[in-house]
Amino acid sequence: MTQPAARSIDDHLARVRTRLERLDAPAAAEAAANGAVLVDIRYAALRDRDGLIPGALVVERNELEWRLDPLGDHRLPEATGHDLTVVVICNEGYASSLAAASLQDLGLHRATDLDGGFQAWRAAGLPVTPPLTPSGSLERP
């Protein structure tokens, strides 16, 4: 068996991104308005700290492929077919590229990610549900 060529994560990320049509925050919002599914893969501490994108599905990264595989037994109702446009969102747009490529490997050929992640969404002034305070109530801006 041939061993895969060794490369750094930066090289791997650059290679993966050649397959993606990455979206900036306004384009991701427009895609969602036109039926794309936004999928937030950030871990809970970041969601609790920074808030959520209204309407985005929250799917832990370690469950992503199982939840979005249209042929899988553990799929979400939103995983309706391989033509589904999925925009994966992480905190800053790194892990989401790798996750989107993994979804493409499952046949979700329209999977992509948000360039700059949640932080770019928030910086663009797009809607964000405020995070919870330590007491569990909503933080007010």
Averaged pLDDT of the chain = 93
- Cα–Cα distance, 88 to 141 (Å, whole number): 26
Q: List pLDDT tens digits, range 3-58.
A: 878 899 999 999 999 999 999 999 999 999 999 999 999 999 999 999 999 999 99
d(CA 102, CA 96): 10
Domains of the chain: 9-123 (3.40.250.10)
